[in-house]
Amino acid sequence: MPTMRGDAMRGLAVFISDIRNCKSREAELRRINKELTNIRQRFRADKTLDGYQKKKYVCKLLFIFLLGHDIDFGYMEAVNLLSSNKYTEKQIGYLFISVIMNSSTEMKQLIIQNIRNDLQSRNPIFVNLALQCVANIGDREMAVAFTNDIPRLLISGDTLDAVKQSAALCLLRLHRTSPDSLQLNTEWTARIIHLLNDQHLGVATAAVSLIDALVKRSPDEYKGCINLAVSRLSRIVTSSYTDFQDYTYYFVPAPWLCVKLLRLLQNYPPPDDPSIRSRLNECLDTILNKAQEPLKSKKVQHSNARNAVLFEAINLIIHMDCESSLLVRACNQLGQFLQNRETNLRYLALESMCLLATSEFSHEAVKKHQETVINALKSERDVSVRQRAVDLLYAMCDRSNAQDIVQEMLTYLETADYTIREEMVLKIAILSEKYAVDYKWYLDIMLKLIRIAGDFVSEEVWYRVIQVVVNRNDVQSYAAKIAFEALQAPACHENMVKVAGYILGEYGNLIALDPRSTPLIQFDLLHSKYHLCSPTTRCLILSTYMKFVNLFPEIKHHIQDILRHDSNYRSSDVEIQQRATEYLKLSEVCSPTVLATVLEIMPPYPEKQSPLLVRLKQKKPLMEAEGAVEPTSSATTTPVTVYIDDVPKLADTAQQQNGLLVSLDTPESNGHYEDSTFSSMTKPATSTVQSNKKFLLKNSDIIFENELIQIGIKGETTKSSMQIELYYGNKSNFNMTNFSSNISCTGELESELRMNMEPIKATIDSRAQIKQSGTIDCLKDFRDLPKMSITFYYNSMPQKIDFSFPVYLNKYIEKAAMDSNNFFLRWRNLEKPSQEFQKIFPAKFPMIYEDCHQKLEGFGWSSLTGIDVNSENFCGAGIIHTTTQQIGCLYRLEPNKQAKMYRLTIRASRDGVAKRLVELLEDQF
């Protein structure tokens, strides 16, 4: 731009120089006050100030404000500058307003009117200044005022490319800061999506960022972007760098646009259209091929740009998880990075391979790099890379390599950084139990683990050892033997004393015939550790002594002497004193028969989910705790929750901790659910497909998830009342404040459902979660879904999430059993047209008998065998419970595998219910 008189502003330069030359804070204040007085007088006295002088004084006020001083005048003069036709004056006016926004409503209206005038200007420079100002302020008033003006600029055919770019980025800013206030017209959706095909790559790059944000709020509305995104990506990756010279960064064509397009496609499942999927696979294949080509430049910018596109492509391949060849190629490419000189590349490669290890297609390919990962664990200098190596070893572990990996992790644990030791202990404990073929090996590993890293062994770990020993009769003798040997070490960790004390108290009699471990030797060895332990451990040891009274009557008087000792009988610790007093009295007054009854051996613990997985997800909330693909057999592991006399209940412990998210795909055979928390969803091991209606076929599900928050639900229905637990997990690195959640029933739904939800905490800490319980009562049959609204502040920015709350009528179905005669008698009685609804539809998924059976059972029906003459057909019944009536329902599902079609017929005792149930079920098969 040509030099103008206003560009110099000599007075401003002199003022800044004076401030810099001040020798003290007092001198600076005097100079500032003098200048403020001068500016105030000029604004008041001289009404004929020209644009240059106003601009100069406004600049001085802005500089003073940036030094940390309050400014209480000059706002109107800055607003007046917005009306100027000179670029420099208008620029300073917008700069002042963007930095010092006055809260006066009157002033805001003036500003908004000036901005609107500039947005309608034919001068693209003025339009861009206005857009930048709106984006910089980005508050609710701006979003409401320009919710129509800015989108029109974006989709108008007359708008210049530079303005379209700014408009797209401005909308993105408003969407991030005020998503509830920015309501885009649905008629503009197709035109916004079409910007992906804009000839100007700058516009396309800005548009894809906007669409990516909008997709997260309304994925179905913007589903049309998939085809255009794949098409645009294909044109870029198949071109040479000379085709995009203006947008080529160190020989890489449009790397930022490629990365954004690949990230956009990760918001959706793999395309259903074979041609689009084939084209996308070709793009990904081309990106992998280009990664094998020699570098065109030795500069780091070239490799960074190329690797950025490559890693995002690999993320998309992992997200799709359906092309085995691409997954294996991606794994091989990442394997080459494991020995790269760049630390960042090694870190990213390990992180991506952790995800690849969870895929059945690429798990074996990941295992080929086991030795390289182990070497990285031993030789890597950067602790974060070593931690990712531990994660990858954990993820790639299965039955074939479990012993090698556990041994390597144990060896490294002795020299590992203190920051990752607790996490490593949990992973070693989980792997050694999950893949234990011989539980003697498991016990050896666990006691060695406690010996090496006793300070980092949490209560859940040694509770779990006790669980396994109590539940497996074949290892109890061996457990007592090695626990006794572990106690003989000169330096014995307190956690080892706890484990040994518990095991000897239960099973010490199994080794008592050995002259090296007689009852008295066991007692003396254990008591030699007593005074070195904390009060909690002493309480446990006192319980062991009492068990010895029952197991070994010959040492009863030795134990009574200990209990009578002042250090116990008159201990300052109330728990120790109470135990000593009660145990002593019990040993004195009870007969051997009564003692044997009171102190009988602990029964096996009930089978529940392992608490170690919960604890691990507290350490790594955004990663799956069960990294390996191979499922655990119930014959080789006993997942139980521990309840020990002298330790807190694990279920209570798990609730007290902020653990994020346990797997929801564990089958719940007894119809009840655990007091645990939710985790990222994994694919069900027993089904080939997942329902697209959340919470329809399961008792627990993830009902909403984005980059900030994950919302899970668990439900259990009794008649017409459903008890639910909602889990809100904060996935971000910032606390969520002013958190509120509301489930509303509008219209007819108000008389059909009754909600009763407990209050919820207002703050969710970073990487933590909170739980909300409540009940939903079904007053009568319903069709519509309640609306859920969640608001919170994230990083000081307000956020709002609205979606339909997935409570369907089938949640109130109770299975009904009947024989063939009763079934067809009831079927014939429900013969009115309004009581029956039938639908014939094509199969959307593979027609597998077990899958269909599982889905029908998950829906709530009973599955009656021997009812239909055709064994391939499904028949069943259920009763829908409401507070006012019970609705009987019968169904018949007839698959035709040759035609790949289904016929679903449902009859119900209440008009219209059969149609609603068919609408819920038809897209599940």
Binding-site positions read 10-11, 52, 56-60
Contact 726, 711 (CB under 8 A): yes
What does the CA dihedral 862, 898, 270, 175 come to, rounded to 10 degrees? -60
Cβ-proximal residues to 733 (8 Å cutoff; 6+ apart), any chain? 766, 767
Q: CA 20 from chain center: how many Å?
A: 50
The number of helix segments (H) and strand segments (E) in the chain equals 38, 15
How far is the CA of 921 from the CAs of 341, 361, 905, in angstroms? 54, 30, 11
Closest CA to 22 of 13, 34, 14, 31: 31
Task: Give the 3-state secondary structure percentages of the chain, helix then strand then coil, rounded to 5.
Answer: 55, 10, 30
Residue with tokens 């021997």: 866
Q: CA 481 from chain center: how many Å?
A: 43
What does the CA dihedral 711, 717, 721, 724 come to, rounded to 10 degrees? -20
As a whole number of angstroms, the distance between CA 843 and CA 901 comes to 5
How far is the CA of 772 from the CAs of 12, 389, 712, in angstroms? 58, 36, 10
What does the CA dihedral 673, 678, 682, 683 come to, rounded to 10 degrees? 30
Closest CA to 268 of 319, 310, 206, 209: 319
As a whole number of angstroms, the distance between CA 549 and CA 587 comes to 7
Provide DSSP, 29-78.
Answer: HHHHHHHHHHHHHHHHH-TT--HHHHHHHHHHHHHHHHTT----S-HHHH
Q: Are strands 813-815 and 797-804 parallel, antiparallel or unpaired?
A: unpaired
Closest CA to 626 of 372, 922, 846, 363: 363
Closest CA to 852 of 688, 641, 729: 688
As a whole number of angstroms, the distance between CA 560 and CA 389 comes to 53
Closest CA to 675 of 609, 604, 593, 580: 609
Locate 773 and state its tokens: 């319980």
How far is the CA of 906 from the CAs of 815, 835, 877, 921, in angstroms? 15, 8, 10, 10
Closest CA to 79 of 36, 118, 40: 118
Which runs of E-coded beta strand occur in 190-264? Answer: 248-249, 252-253
As a whole number of angstroms, the distance between CA 467 and CA 475 comes to 12
3-state secondary structure at position 795: coil
Residue with tokens 């449902």: 906
As a whole number of angstroms, the distance between CA 716 and CA 629 comes to 29
Provide DSSP, 417-473.
Answer: -HHHHHHHHHHHHHHHHHT-SSHHHHHHHHHHHHHHSGGG--HHHHHHHHHHHHH-G
As a residue count, the chain comes to 925
User: Residue type for 69, please?
Assistant: H
Contact 360, 629 (CB under 8 A): yes
Locate 767 and state its tokens: 């990487």
How far is the CA of 456 from the CAs of 388, 425, 451, 495, 617, in angstroms? 19, 7, 10, 10, 16
